[in-house]
Each structure stands twice: as C-alpha cells, then as structure tokens.
Amino acid sequence: MVERFINKLVFKLKMIRDRLILQQRELTRKLNESYVERDVLFPAGEGLIKVIIGPRRTGKSTFAIRQLQKQGKFAYCNFDDEEFVRITDYQELVTELETLYEMPHFFLFDEIQNIPRWELLVNRLQRQGYQLVITGSNAHLLSKELATHLTGRHQQIILFPFSFKEFLRKKNQHLTSYETAQEFENYLQQGGFPEPLSKELDKEDYLKTLFNNILYKDIVKRWNIRSVPSIDQLAQYFFSAIGNEFSYHSLRRVTGVKSTATIEKYLHALQEAFLFFFLTRFSFKAKERETAQKKIYCIDNGFIQAKGISFSQQRGKMYENIAAIELKKREMQGKIHFFYWKNPQQEEVDFVIKEGLKVTQLIQVCEDISNEKTKMREMRALLKASRELHCSDLLLLTREKEGTEKMEWFGMRGEVRFLPLWKWLLEGKF
C-alpha cells in the first residue's frame, strides 16, 4: 500500500512537472512574438499583489509577461488547464515552479479563477513573502474575493481589447489624417482583440469560437446554468440591440424564461464574463437610478459583427458602442462614472459624465449629421440636458464634422463642440 501511495505521488508530481514544462515552452514562444505596447500602467513596487482583469484573449498574460521580463526572474503557471483544477495540494505545484524556474522572484498565475478557493492560495503565498501577479477573466469573482481576503494588499489593472490608439500602433507607421480615418473604419468593424489582428486568422471564426468559449467556460459552467439555449438567445438578442433600453419583461419574452430572478442571474453572468455591460439612466436620486431601464453595450465591436449583425444597419450603434467602451474603461479605472439621460419627452443624451458629485460633460454620438433635422435634434437634447444637469461642456461625436456651434432654444443657450469620434479616441481626454 505504501508503495502504491509513493507511485501515485510520483506520477502526480511528474504530471505537474510535465504540464509546467509545456507551459514554459509556451512562455518562451510568447516572449519571441512581436508585441504591441499597451496604454496601461503596471504598478511599481513590491509587496502588493498585481491583479490583471479583463475579457478572455485580450492579452493579459502577454502584458504581464512583458512587464515581468523587466523585473527579474519569474515563474509562469496557466490555470486554464483541467489537470491543475484537480490538484488538492498546490504547495507541490509551487515547489515544482521554484525548481523549474530556479527560485524566481515573481510568480505569474494566469486565469487563476479556474481553481477552487484560489484566493486562499494567493493569500497564503502573499503572507509567505512571494511576489505575485495574477490574471482573471471574471470581474465579479476577482473583485469580490479580493475585497474579502486581500483588502489593502492588491493593485488592480484593467486590460480591454486594443483601443484605437493601440490598434494603430500595431500598424507601426505614421499615417495621414485621411489614412487614420480609414483605419478607424476597419477598427469600427473588426474590434480590438489582439490575436486575429496579429496573425493570419479568420476574424469572424475566431470571435465566434471565443464567444462560445466565454459562454461555456465563464458562464454556463461557472454559474451552473441548465438552460443553455436561453442564455445564448439572450446574448444574441443583446448583440442586435446595442445602445437600446431593456426591461425584465422584454427579456422574459425574448428568452421564454418566466423567472425575473433567473433573468437577473443571466445578466450578472454576461456582465461578469466581460461580454456586455449595462448603462444606468441618470438621476440625482439613487432609487430612480435603480428602477430605471438600462442600456446594453458590448465589450468589443468585433463580437457584434461576428454574430451576424448587419454592419450597415448598425453603423450608428457601432459608433455609440465604441464610445461606451472607452468610457467604461475609464470608469473601471476609477476616473469617472457615466450614465445616459432621458427626459419625459423621450429625448436622450447618450452619455452623462460624472466626476465626484458633479456632472462635468454631456456626450452625444451621431455618426451622420448631414441632415439638418438630425443635427438639431441631437443638439437640442444636449441643450435640454445641459439646463437640467447644470453642465455647459457639450460634445457631439460624429464621423467627420469638427468645430463649434452656438445654439438657442426657447431661452436656452449653449455651445456644442463637434469632433470626429476617431480624434476623440486618440486624444484620450474629454
């Protein structure tokens, strides 16, 4: 029996070592690949756990590897491996990592949310003095567990698909304004997931496969969802309703799910897996914000295109979605809060930017304002929201118009600034 136990232990350790060796080769390959610098700061200093979160396949591990390469020796373990999920004593894995990487200064744990009670392992290693960098593709799981177990001992880094600025950096050449505007058309449709932009891959097939991986790995499996067709149908509906309001009643009708609690569960799952995010209608009253309908946005335009939604029909919404993604990144970085505005006359402003207690900017997105009636409608909504929210910074993001126009409407006065959306994205400021 002792011999059997020893043989079993030796076999397990060999399995761990073999898996880690294969991952070490993967690490070497990543280090030899071309790399696009990201516009994300990697916090300096030791002692605090670096936590990198974001959607799957946005380059979290590559970003971490490139940063750690500058810091000194580090070990790498990717927990997106079914064998590592079955391990009961992770000290064996840590020991193997120390041997394989010759006593590294840092440990990089990739997709750590896949192992049970991962936060206890991280917490213990941190107390023992290990320098840790971890990545994860589930916003709620990481934030909840970190807040509970690692309060004050971690720094969070948000990594989304390529911004337009990073997308252009991939081109590695100086572009004219005309060429930049043309590249924006490509970005508008393709989105910013790094891998299909860097390799000879069919972008549509890649994104469809990625969507299915997220759906099954990060949603169905994690949330123990029994009716896969229902949540799949809900996601399909969201792809076709970008920028639209929704109610629980409408979602029950779309999915055939009768329970509001189940619909809420689906919404949480889709949001926490970084597929969609939802925007609240602005109100100075918290209760009104909680009960108002929300709007739907997707984490990347490429998903919308890959799921068979007509680009020509959704062009205006694609513009709006790109702006929403940029604002969402800034919100997750703690720089702003943002909402949408709507009055009883059903006039809307796409984005209300709030910093602290003050509304600092109102943003409208309208791809085509060549029609004078369309332009006046968008400006009028900005002017009305300006009076109600006491904000004079009014911005209208368009395809090509740039400049300012003064407007007066029934005693209300204001000045609206026009800016092409691609320029706004490159400016990186409001």
Q: What is the pTM of this model?
A: 0.92
Last residue of a domain, one of 158, 186, 201: 158
Which tokens belong to 270? 């889709």
Would you say 188 and 165 are in contact if contact means Cβ atoms under 8 Å apart? no
Task: Round to whole Å and give the CA distance between 173 and 68.
Answer: 27
User: What pLDDT, on the 0 to 100 scale, is given for residue 142?
Assistant: 65
Task: Round to whole Å and give the CA distance between 150 and 409.
Answer: 53
User: What pLDDT, on the 0 to 100 scale, is given for residue 311?
Assistant: 66
Q: Is 422 a domain residue? A: yes
Partners of 413 in the β-ladder: 408
Domain count, the chain: 2
Last residue of a domain, one of 158, 174, 197: 158
DSSP 8-state assignment for residue 281? B
Q: What range does the domain containing 382 cover?
A: 327-430
User: What pLDDT, on the 0 to 100 scale, is given for residue 7?
Assistant: 46
**CATH number of residue 114's parent domain:** 3.40.50
**Amino acid residing at 97:** L
User: What pLDDT, on the 0 to 100 scale, is given for residue 238?
Assistant: 95
Question: What radius of gyration, in Å, describes the C-alpha atoms of the chain?
Answer: 24
User: What pLDDT, on the 0 to 100 scale, is given for residue 180?
Assistant: 95
What single string gives the DSSP state of each residue in 11-34? HHHHHHHHHHHHHHHHHHHHHHS-
User: What pLDDT, on the 0 to 100 scale, is given for residue 336?
Assistant: 96
User: What pLDDT, on the 0 to 100 scale, is given for residue 10?
Assistant: 57
User: What pLDDT, on the 0 to 100 scale, is given for residue 140?
Assistant: 60
Q: Is 215 a domain residue? A: no
Q: Is 141 a domain residue? A: yes
Which tokens belong to 212? 């299915």
Q: What angle do CA 261, 263, 265 make, to 5 degrees?
A: 70
Q: Is 299 a domain residue? A: no
Task: Round to whole Å and give the CA distance between 17 and 6.
Answer: 16
Q: From first to last of the 430 residues of the chain, give the pLDDT tens digit.
A: 544 545 454 556 788 999 999 999 999 998 888 899 999 999 887 788 999 999 999 999 999 999 999 888 999 999 988 888 778 788 889 999 999 999 999 999 998 888 888 888 888 898 888 899 999 887 766 666 666 766 668 888 999 999 999 999 988 778 999 999 999 999 999 999 999 988 878 899 999 999 999 999 889 988 899 899 999 999 999 999 999 999 998 999 888 898 999 999 999 999 999 999 999 999 988 888 888 999 999 999 999 989 867 766 788 999 999 999 999 999 998 999 999 999 999 999 999 999 999 999 999 999 999 999 999 999 999 999 999 999 999 999 999 999 999 988 767 789 999 999 999 999 875 4
Q: Is 267 a domain residue? A: no
Last residue of a domain, one of 158, 177, 196: 158
Q: Is 251 a domain residue? A: no
Task: Round to whole Å and give the CA distance between 284 and 341.
Answer: 11
Q: Is 80 a domain residue? A: yes
Task: Round to whole Å and give the CA distance between 266 and 326.
Answer: 24
Task: Round to whole Å and give the CA distance between 63 and 46.
Answer: 18
